[in-house]
Amino acid sequence: MAVIDPNVHWTEMEGGPYGGVYQGAEQVGALLAKVSGDWKGFHPEPQSFIDGGDQIVVLGVYHGTSTQTGKKVDAHFAHVWTVKNDKIVKLVQYTDTHKFHEALK
């Protein structure tokens, strides 16, 4: 949380279990706590970085196991991060939301 701007604008993929816009570090912290509780071993595995100056695109795969169903998820993602003054001011997430819903059923 130390690298997240207090006024961060964080967008999770519409249609996903956490889809929506989270405004501010407090909302993002609550989102990340919920994700940690819903998934065992959840982590993004970055595979490549595209440097666009203050915007960085990260491509990779999410991994984790649903604490509700015991099913695993492996879903590709793209993140577009905007960084200013060494702080994350914006994130836009793109991922296969269907894979998350399947793991939660």
Query: Could you read off the pLDDT tens digit of each residue along the chain, which spans 105 residues?
Result: 899 999 999 999 999 999 999 999 999 999 999 999 999 999 999 999 999 999 999 999 999 999 999 999 999 999 999 999 999 999 999 999 999 999 999
DSSP annotation of 13: P
pTM of the model: 0.91
Domain count, the chain: 1
Task: Give 76's contacts (C-beta < 8 A, 6+ positions apart).
Answer: 59, 60, 61, 62, 95, 96
Which CATH number goes with the domain that contains 43?
A: 3.10.450.50
- The domain in which residue 16 lies consists of 4-104
